[in-house]
Amino acid sequence: MKVEKEQGIRPEKPASGKFMLRVPPEVHGAALVAAQAAGKSLNQWATEVLAEAAHD
């Protein structure tokens, strides 16, 4: 992970891979539409978006 390498920051404990997120219904709906437009599940789409944002 870029931040981890650049800043020497590590998570306090290993990540489980499960991620609960609460967002407004409008954001959830827009994310569903974006995922469908990309031909992906919401989980696949969100994983890619989060990975890209985390590496910026």
How confident is the prediction along the chain (56 residues), in pLDDT tens digits per residue?
455 555 677 878 888 999 999 999 999 999 999 999 999 999 999 999 999 998 86
Q: What is the pLDDT of residue 22?
A: 96
Say what the pLDDT of residue 6 is. 57
Position 50 in a domain: yes
Query: Which tokens is 21 given?
Result: 């997120």
pLDDT the model gives residue 11: 75
Q: Structural domain of residue 48, as residue ranges?
A: 23-56
**What pLDDT sits at residue 1?**
46
Return the closest-CA partner of residue 40 out of 50, 48, 51, 30: 48
What does the pLDDT read at residue 7?
Answer: 67
37 in a structural domain: yes
Assigned domain for 32 exists: yes
User: Number of folded domains in the chain?
Assistant: 1
**Alpha carbons 48 and 45: distance in angstroms, whole number:** 5
Question: Is 1 domain-assigned?
Answer: no
Give alpha helix (H) positions in the chain.
Answer: 2-7, 25-37, 42-54
